[in-house]
């Protein structure tokens, strides 16, 4: 300290003395706090500064917002729910019901074969009868069986008329006349007998070939044979006599038993 004072006063000596070295090295007592340690503690305190109540609320709000954003992002990543499409009900329509029936005002086309002058297809008026078809085919030839045909019956489109051979009494059974073909689905004209069971049993002694041909399991040849047996042997007295007709065996007889009578 003495050397510093001398410099300030302009001491010409200007040289420091040994006393000056002693004055510069002044020991610091231990009870005085070190300034450098205080500076380090202040820096640590600044780092660990308490945000206070308002700062804590702000941090809590930021955390809640972050959670909400995370939840919203996760919800958007989920696939959308699948909703089943409600289809309109489909009405089932029968194809048979949708098919229109033949027009009753249209002409009918039938096939006439057998003992006629011009066998083949003939086109007739809607209300034509079997007699008209035979006439359109040139008429029946000599020896033709016209008794087995109901000449007054109305025709339906697509039928076939077979003009067979007449069988004199006492002669072997020959092919008789018949009419075959399905009746229309709906028509104002009387429908031809189908192959279903008749509502009433058929009388074997008065039935025509056409009526017998309509029975299930009986074709035109068998129907003609039934009539020929009746013409040859007289009236049937029992249904069992059908077993004597050519083409009717025990199995067919049992099927026909509930469908015919005498």
Q: Is 130 within 8 Å of 155 (Cβ atoms)?
A: yes
Most confident of 27-41, 107-121, 141-155: 107-121
Q: Is residue 145 in a domain?
A: yes
What is the predicted pLDDT for the residue at 8?
A: 53
Chain centroid, CA 15 distance in Å:
124
CATH of the domain at 170: 1.10.150.320
Q: Is residue 61 in a domain?
A: no
Q: Is residue 244 in a domain?
A: yes
Q: State the alpha helices, DSSP H only, in 25-100.
A: 35-47, 52-77, 95-98
Q: Is residue 161 in a domain?
A: yes
Tell whether the model's pLDDT for residue 111 goes beyond 50. Answer: yes
Tell whether the model's pLDDT for residue 207 goes beyond 50. Answer: yes
Mean pLDDT of 237-242: 91
Q: Is residue 169 in a domain?
A: yes
Q: Is residue 207 in a domain?
A: yes
Distance CA 215, CA 197 (A): 6
Q: Is residue 199 in a domain?
A: yes
Tell whether the model's pLDDT for residue 138 goes beyond 90. Answer: yes
Q: Is residue 232 in a domain?
A: yes
What mean pLDDT value characterizes the chain?
A: 74
Quick one: pLDDT band at residue 200, thresholds 50, 70, 90?
A: confident
| DSSP characters over 159-221 | -EEEE-B---TTSPP----EEE-PPPSS-SSPPPP-SSPPSSPEETTT--HHHHHTSTT--HH
Whole-number percent of the chain with pLDDT over 90: 16
Mean pLDDT of 163-172: 68
Range of 116's domain? 108-183+191-261
- State if pTM tops 0.85: no
The token pair at 149 is 């045909």
Tell whether the model's pLDDT for residue 20 goes beyond 90. Answer: no
CB atoms within 10 A of CB 257: 13
- The count of structural domains within the chain is 1
Q: Is 198 within 8 Å of 215 (Cβ atoms)?
A: yes
What is the predicted pLDDT for the residue at 194?
A: 47
């Amino acid at each position: 300290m003495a050397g510093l004072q001398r410099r300030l006063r302009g001491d010409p000596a200007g040289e420091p003395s040994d006393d000056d070295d002693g004055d510069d090295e002044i020991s610091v007592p231990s009870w005085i706090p070190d300034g450098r340690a205080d500076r380090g503690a202040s820096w640590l305190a600044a780092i660990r500064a308490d945000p206070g109540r308002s700062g804590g609320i702000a941090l809590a709000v930021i955390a809640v917002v972050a959670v909400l954003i995370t939840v919203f992002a996760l919800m958007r990543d989920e696939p959308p729910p699948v909703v089943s499409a409600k289809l309109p009900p489909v009405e089932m329509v029968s194809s048979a019901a949708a098919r229109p029936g033949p027009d009753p005002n249209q002409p009918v086309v039938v096939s006439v074969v057998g003992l006629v002058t011009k066998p083949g297809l003939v086109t007739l008026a809607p209300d034509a009868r079997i007699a008209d078809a035979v006439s359109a085919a040139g008429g029946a030839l000599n020896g033709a069986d016209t008794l087995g045909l109901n000449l007054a019956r109305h025709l339906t489109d697509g039928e076939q008329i077979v003009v067979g051979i007449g069988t004199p009494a006492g002669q072997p059974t020959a092919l008789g006349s018949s009419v075959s073909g399905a009746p229309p689905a709906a028509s104002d004209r009387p429908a031809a007998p189908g192959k279903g069971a008749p509502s009433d049993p058929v009388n074997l002694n008065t039935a025509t070939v056409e009526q017998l041909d309509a029975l299930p399991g009986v074709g035109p040849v068998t129907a003609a044979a039934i009539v020929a047996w009746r013409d040859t042997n007289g009236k049937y007295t029992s249904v069992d006599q059908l077993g004597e007709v050519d083409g009717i065996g025990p199995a067919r007889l049992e099927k026909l038993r509930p469908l015919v009578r005498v």
